[in-house]
Homo-oligomer: A and B are copies of this chain.
Amino acid sequence: MLIDGTHYRSIWLAEDGESVQIIDQRKLPFAVEIETIRTWKEMVVAIREMHLRGAPLIGAAAGYGVYLACLELVAADSRGFDVGLERAMTELDAARPTAVNLRWALDRQRAALAEAGPPREKVAIAREQADAIAEEDVAVCAELGRHGADLLAGIAAGNPGRTINVLTHCNAGWLATVDYGTVTAVIYESSRRGLPLHVWVDETRPRNQGALTSWELSHNGVANTVICDNAGGHLMQHGRVDLVLVGTDRTARNGDVANKIGTYLKALAANDNEVPFYVALPSSTFDPSMERGVGAIPIEERNADEVLQVRGHDGTGESRMRLYADGTAAANYAFDVTPARLVTGYVTDRGVFDARHLADGLRGTNRG
């Protein structure tokens, strides 16, 4: 999508073909900085420290991480290749626990590499797979966007001429994928078709990914207003939200949705106010091996400093402040699970399904 009118993806192979470039999302929305990642260990850090984030993008990054590991192992000593590769995969896998795409991308690389020949051939295969994961993500998001735009057109048909208000949480934007996004693919495609749209953007504490969402929507011409995470219920009570549309880091077979902490609260408010609650779900994020999500999907606990401190811009540059008195204790749960009973439907690259038809609808799309 566009930054100041120029098209970017969120991750790409550098011109030398031997390093990977990403937009360092920790610097956004105050600065656009391209980071070059040359080793698989740097990729582990980039994933764990959230230089990049978003389940689909984490999957693509893991794919490229395996490619970087293959390159390094061939250059170093091909005899240790298999052991070294397994170690890289293990560390990449441990970088973030909740997003299923990470595991999925690694499994895909592992399966492809198992059939490949000597290390040099494996390097080529790993690159091919990494590129394919990224390209497929772009195609999946585009397709998801078209199905979602059809859904929004249906909602708009009941409200001719009126601006449709979408509430979203976190950043399920192009920055969370390779391009287009999931939630934002729906928004961008609807906007392209001429639907009058406005987006309520939850700021999404503690990391304020709403700042990313607002930034990317504004760069791509979509009207939006940032609100505190506390405000959505009030807006829904007063008829100011036509639908809630959020992303997911992992969705279980029964339709339970792991997504950024706070999503569950918005689903409850949508349910209480009869506002449709949809999940934008690229098929790679569906985990049919998990029967249910509540109490089962692992929930990442991150450093309390993410709650106690905040990052912003002090007028001269990026800076960091603490929000609480010295010695304050804090807990930082990164995700929660929204039970399927609160989800109106799932917008996928295969179409829009309710929870009962989700597993059938996505059969064969991933982890087949």
Contacts and interface: CB of A to CB of B under 8 A. Distances in A.
Contact of A228 (B266, B307, B335): B307
Interface in A218-238: 218, 224-235, 237-238
A328 B329 CA distance: 31
A248 interface: no
A50 interface: no
Contacts of A331: 225-227, 231
A33 to B, nearest CB: 14
Contacts of A238: 295
Given A228-B229, A229-B228, A261-B230, A203 B269 contact: no
Interface string A100-129: 000000000000000000000000000000
Given A203-B307, A314-B319, A234 B264 contact: yes
Interface in A33-67: none
Interface residues of A, number: 62
Contact of A233 (B204, B208, B234, B268): B268
Given A226-B307, A324-B29, A233 B262 contact: yes
Interface string A228-267: 1111111101100000000000000000000011101110
B269 A265 contact: yes
A65 B230 CA distance: 32
Interface in A281-314: 294-295, 299, 307-310, 312-314
Contact of A328 (B226, B233, B295, B323): B226
A211 interface: yes
B325 A321 contact: no
Interface in A320-346: 320-325, 327-333, 335-337
A336 B238 CA distance: 10
Given A205-B205, A337-B237, A310 B299 contact: no
A10 to B, nearest CB: 17
B323 A321 contact: no
A214 interface: yes
A258 to B, nearest CB: 10
A8 interface: no
A224 B269 CA distance: 27
Nearest to A204: B230
A206 interface: yes
- Chain B CB within 10 A, most for which of A204, A269, A309: A269
A265 B323 contact: no
A325 B215 contact: yes
A18 interface: no
A268 B237 CA distance: 12
- Chain B CB within 10 A, most for which of A214, A225, A231, A337: A231
25 contacts: A205-B205, A205-B228, A206-B228, A224-B329, A225-B329, A226-B308, A226-B329, A227-B330, A227-B331, A228-B229, A230-B265, A231-B331, A231-B336, A233-B265, A237-B295, A265-B266, A265-B268, A268-B269, A309-B312, A310-B310, A310-B312, A310-B323, A312-B321, A312-B322, A321-B321
Given A227-B331, A237-B336, A310-B312, 16 more contacts: A30-B325, A208-B323, A211-B325, A214-B325, A214-B328, A218-B325, A227-B332, A228-B307, A230-B265, A233-B262, A233-B265, A234-B336, A234-B337, A238-B295, A313-B323, A314-B320
